[in-house]
Amino acid sequence: MLTGAELTADGLRQRVHEFLGEHDPAGTGRLDFLRARFDAGLAWVHYPAGLGGLGASRTLQRVVDAEFAAAGAPDNDPAGNAIGLGMAAPTIRAFGTDAQHQRWLRPLWTGEDIWCQLFSEPGAGSDLASLATRAVRDGDGWVVSGQKVWTSLAHEAHWGILVARTDPDVPKHQGLTYFACDMRAAGVDVRPLRQMTGEAEFNEVFFTDVRIPDEDRIGAVGEGWKVAQATLMNERVAIGGTSLPREGGMIGTAARAWRDHPGRRTPDLHDRLLRLWTEAEVARLAGERLRQQLAAGQPGPEGSAAKLVFARLNQEISEFDVELAGADGLRYDDWTMRRPGRADFYGRGPGYRYLRARANSIEGGTSEILRTIIAERVLGLPPEPRVDKDVPWKDLPR
């Protein structure tokens, strides 16, 4: 049986067809089908055998997904567990023990377990490493107290990836440890956090003496920052990752509105639309080029540009959209507190999209932090003077 790099697109297609011959999507329960797909190594083909993969090239995943979709097979609703699939899974794979791989990866992939991310705190946003949620050793486990914020899906999640402070006596980056937290444990309190859009897509999560067994720690004690960095790297890959056709993002909505409403056109709006269309199409091509670089094994730093551009364009296009709507731009669809299961940057009306887009330059790393990262890591410019680097966390002013 071929594995790893020997696997070709045709070889994988063949394997999917054999699998489908043994597991008729129409006659198999959804969950049974997904579990069998995982066990056959056809879940995420670049993962190792036994963990839902075949050690194949990551670029071949598209081939497998397309074959299953063409056969009408149920999928694992990836958009419903984006943090689990995009961030928790690669972190668990890289830093987890064999036992953790066996416990968590299969139900994560099938969507049985939704995962959320417990990183940011009211006092630790851009300066994540200053976080204050404490985990105190207690026998064969840990006792966690503190507060996390901006946690999407916390109200649906079974697990959360958590960074907590285990040693306040060392400088801030050194005293952190990474855990998987059972969201159903006693002392975990999830409360909706309402946003300017009216809805509550996110949550605040309060921890009061929550007990986490030591077997749910991911990585070594005090290594939490290193593990968290890996999670955040995957976040950026996930954001720049999808291939879209021309007019595939928010610009498509604006272009269609322009074509559908000749009466709303003005020279000023026309000029802005053409600029935005140009920038959106160039950004799309830059994404295509980045994917070609990755496929050719030439990963470059260009990925860090993608989220910056995406945020700015979403904001400018949605600003344009509200104005193009004319008098309708003064209306809003619904201020009631909805609880959406997933973020939707492109849905609802222009007013909603405009307000939601304000978060694009804040969530997942502010645009300012991303610029600093590019300046220092890509361009090699000198770092900011740091007053907090060598000071024990407990002595930092706050």
Partner 1 sequence: MEGPAPVSAPPRPAVADESGRRTPDLLYDDTEQTLRESIRSLLVARCGADDILRRVESDDTCDTGLWQAIAADLGCAGLLIPEDDDGAGASYREAALVAEELGRAVAPVPFLGSAVVATTALLAAGDHTRLAELARGDVTAALAVGFGTRPGAPFPDAVRVSGSRAGDGTSGLTRLRGRVPGVADALTADLLIVPADGAPSGLYLVGAGAEGVRRTPVISLDMTRQLCDLDLEDAPARLIASGPAAGRAVGDALAAGAALLASELLGVADRCLEMTVAYVKERRQFARPVGSFQALKHRLADLWVGVTQARAAARYAAACLAAGDGDAPVATALAKAYCGEIALRAAEECVQMHGGIGFTWEHPAHLYLKRAKSASIAFGTAGAHRAALAGLVNLPGA
Helix H or strand E encompassing 280: helix 267-295
Report if residue 368 touches partner 1, rule: CB under 8 A. Answer: yes
Judged by CB under 8 A, which stretch of 26-34, 105-113, 183-191, 382-390 contacts partner 1? 382-390
Report if residue 383 touches partner 1, rule: CB under 8 A. Answer: yes
Alpha helices per DSSP H over 186-247: 224-240
Q: Site residues for partner 1, window 147-166 (CB under 8 A)?
A: 149-153
Q: Which two tokens stand for residue 235?
A: 């976040």
**What's the gap between Cα 176 and its chain centre?**
21
φ/ψ of 164, rounded to 5, equals -135, 160
Among 185, 375, 391, 396, binds partner 1 (CB under 8 A): 375
Report if residue 79 touches partner 1, rule: CB under 8 A. Answer: yes
Strand partners, 162: 118, 179
Place of tokens 């083909």: 45
Nearest distance from C-beta of residue 5 to partner 1, angstroms: 21
Number of residues that bind partner 1 (CB under 8 A): 90
Among 130, 185, 372, 392, binds partner 1 (CB under 8 A): 372
* Residue 17 buriedness (CB in 10 A; 0-12 / 13-18 / 19+): exposed
Torsional sign, CA 343, 349, 352, 353: positive
Q: Site residues for partner 1, window 111-130 (CB under 8 A)?
A: 116-117, 119-120
Q: Which two tokens stand for residue 218?
A: 């991911």
Report if residue 308 touches partner 1, rule: CB under 8 A. Answer: yes
Report if residue 343 touches partner 1, rule: CB under 8 A. Answer: yes
Q: How far apart are CA 108 and CA 89, in angstroms?
A: 8
Q: Site residues for partner 1, window 6-25 (CB under 8 A)?
A: none
Catalytic residue, chosen from 235, 247, 363, 376, is 235
Report if residue 83 touches partner 1, rule: CB under 8 A. Answer: yes
111: left (phi over 0), alpha (psi -120 to 50) or beta: left
Q: Site residues for partner 1, window 311-330 (CB under 8 A)?
A: none
8 A C-beta contact, residue 244 and residue 287 = yes
Judged by CB under 8 A, which stretch of 13-21, 41-49, 315-323, 345-353 contacts partner 1? 345-353
Among 21, 27, 72, 267, binds partner 1 (CB under 8 A): 267
Q: Is 253 helix (H, G, I), strand (E, B) or coil?
A: helix
Q: How far apart are CA 279 and CA 286, in angstroms?
A: 10
Among 11, 25, 46, 345, binds partner 1 (CB under 8 A): 345
Report if residue 385 touches partner 1, rule: CB under 8 A. Answer: yes
Among 347, 389, 394, 395, binds partner 1 (CB under 8 A): 347
Nearest distance from C-beta of residue 207 to partner 1, angstroms: 15
Q: How far apart are CA 376 and CA 298, in angstroms?
A: 21
Report if residue 167 touches partner 1, rule: CB under 8 A. Answer: no
Q: Site residues for partner 1, window 191-210 (CB under 8 A)?
A: 201-202
8 A C-beta contact, residue 311 and residue 236 = no
Nearest distance from C-beta of residue 181 to partner 1, angstroms: 14
Q: How many residues does the chain have?
A: 398
The amino acid at residue 203 is N
Count of alpha carbons within 13 angstroms of residue 334, beta-carbon side: 10
| Contact string (CB under 8 A) for partner 1, positions 234-263, x = contact | -x---x---xxxxxxxx-xx-xx-xx--x-
Report if residue 136 touches partner 1, rule: CB under 8 A. Answer: no
Question: What would the DSSP string read from start to end of 61-119?
Answer: HHHHHHHHHHTT-----GGGGHHIIIIIHHHHHHH--HHHHHHHHHHHHHTSS-EEEE-
Among 176, 317, 360, 393, binds partner 1 (CB under 8 A): 360
Q: Site residues for partner 1, window 270-289 (CB under 8 A)?
A: 270-271, 273-275, 277-279, 281-283, 285-286, 288-289
Helix H or strand E encompassing 161: strand 159-165
Report if residue 141 touches partner 1, rule: CB under 8 A. Answer: no
Does the annotation count 247 as an active-site position? Answer: no
Residues 42, 44, 49, 52, Cα dihedral to 10°? -70
Among 296, 327, 330, 387, binds partner 1 (CB under 8 A): 296
Report if residue 69 touches partner 1, rule: CB under 8 A. Answer: no
- Which amino acids are annotated catalytic? 235
